[in-house]
Structure 1
Amino acid sequence: MIATLPAVAGGWYACTSIACYLAYTRDKRAAQTGRRRTPERTLLLLGLIGGWPGGLLAQRLVRHKTGKMSFQVKFWITVVANLAVLLVV
Structure 2
Amino acid sequence: MRNIILYFICINIFGFFIMWLDKRKAKKGAWRIPEKTLFIITALGGGIGTIAGMYTFKHKTKKIQFVIGFPFITILEIVTIIYFAFYNK
1:8 maps to 3
User: Structure 1: which 4+ aligned runs deviate by more than 6 Å?
Assistant: none
Q: Give the structure-2-normalised TM-score.
A: 0.82
Structure 1: state its 5+ residue gaps.
Answer: none
Once residues 78 and 60 of structure 1 are traced to their aligned partners in structure 2, the CA distance between those partners, rounded to angstroms, is 16
Aligned identity (percent) is 25
What is the TM-score of this pair, normalised by structure 1? 0.82
| TM-fit CA distance, 1:54 | 1.0
- How far off its partner does 1:10 sit? 2.0
The CA deviation at 1:72 is 1.4
- The residue type equivalent to 1:21 in the other structure is F
Name stretches of at least 5 consecutive residues in structure 2 with no aligned partner: 85-89
The aligned residue for residue 83 of structure 2 is 88
Q: 1:71: Cα distance to partner?
A: 1.9
